[in-house]
Chain A
Amino acid sequence: MIVAERKPFEDIKAMIEDYNKILVVGCGECVSVCMAGGEKEVQILASQLRLAFEEQGKEIEVDETTLERQCDKEYLEEIKDKIDDYDAIISMACGAGVQFLAEMYNNKSVYPALNTCFIGVAEREGEWSERCRACGDCVLAETGGICPVAICAKGLLNGPCGGTNDGKCELSKEKDCAWTLIYNRLKDLDKLDNIREIFPPKKYSAQTTPGRRIHEAFKEKE
């Protein structure tokens, strides 16, 4: 899932304090699961904004809604009839959702309430860790299912570097060395020969910016 975290409250409040009527829009997908921008977080932020503005004696109306997701037009269309009632929108989606919302309602000022962090997994309730950089050229088949691009601090394809130390990264004793993890996994799989292969320079061209992918079935045939 895409993992995000909420921006500091003061930053969000500063973005919208010149408006009179705000809609806070949540997203029911990834950011809901990682407890950053789902229905509950929308309620919390909207309540905080109402309370904070009232404490300051400012009259700002803050309404709230949470869509199934913000990365599909059909769900964004659900607010088309009421969006003109608002001066500005706060989106609690990931960066993709915020942009799609802003693109669809391009006469409205749309502000992000989250910082999008990474593609990751839930380690346990309330804790997530990165697993993927969406590089477009997956090497997991060779590395025992552990991604050196995302987990190695240097993104090394031919590791480990000289900074590996008792299985930890030189950057932090809390951070596992990706290449120690890869070595141990390949050893368990009896595929240590994989680590002797030298990876050629990575195809960074696969990580197109901006990325666009069309499913084979939807491509126009000549």
Chain B
Amino acid sequence: MEGECHFLEGNLRAKMWVTYTKGLLDEIGIEPERLKMFNLSSSMAPQFKEAVEEMIEVAKKLGPTKIQNKAA
């Protein structure tokens, strides 16, 4: 859970970088909602499934970008 990472403050640092990366996406016109961080442990399969379903819904709602895989 947030702040209780196996790697000490690891998930807090990850949160910081995810927030930064959302800003990078926003700069280039890609919806930052396409990226989201979830804090899960290895025993939280149902929550993982919910997180995946949430992101699928986000992707469906936003639709495809014009970017093909070759760009990144």
**Residues of A with C-beta under 8 A to B70:** 54
CB atoms of B72 and A55 under 8 A apart = no
Answer whether residue B71 sits at the interface, using C-beta atoms and an 8 A cutoff.
yes
Chain B residue with minimal CB distance to A45? B24
Are A44 and B71 within 8 A (Cβ)? Answer: no
Q: How far is the CB of A11 from chain B (nearest CB, A)?
A: 11
- Number of B interface residues in the complex (CB < 8 A): 12
Please measure, in the bound complex, the distance between the C-alpha atom of A125 and the C-alpha atom of B38, giving whole angstroms. 24
Q: How far is the CA of A57 from the CA of B71 in the complex (A)?
A: 11
Q: Determine which of A8, A44, A50, A55 lies in contact with B29 in the assembled complex, contact meaning CB atoms within 8 Å.
A: A55
Check A52–B72 contact: CB distance below 8 A: no
Question: How many residues on chain A are close to B (CB under 8 Å)?
Answer: 13
- The answer for the CA separation of A51 and B27 in the assembled complex, in Å, is 11
B67 touches which of A10, A44, A55 (Cβ 8 Å): A55
Question: Does B44 have its Cβ within 8 Å of any Cβ on chain A?
Answer: no
**Interface presence of B30 (CB below 8 A):** yes
Q: Min CB distance, B5 to chain A, in Å?
A: 17
Whether A57 lies near B66 (C-beta < 8 A) is yes
Pairs A–B under 8 Å by Cβ, sample size 21: A9-B24, A9-B27, A9-B28, A10-B27, A44-B24, A48-B24, A50-B71, A51-B28, A51-B30, A51-B67, A51-B72, A52-B27, A52-B28, A54-B67, A54-B68, A54-B70, A54-B71, A55-B29, A55-B30, A55-B65, A57-B66
9 additional A-B residue pairs with CB within 8 Å, beyond A48-B27, A51-B72: A8-B27, A9-B27, A9-B28, A48-B24, A50-B71, A52-B27, A52-B29, A54-B67, A56-B66
Residues of A within 8 A of B (CB): 8-10, 44, 47-48, 50-52, 54-57
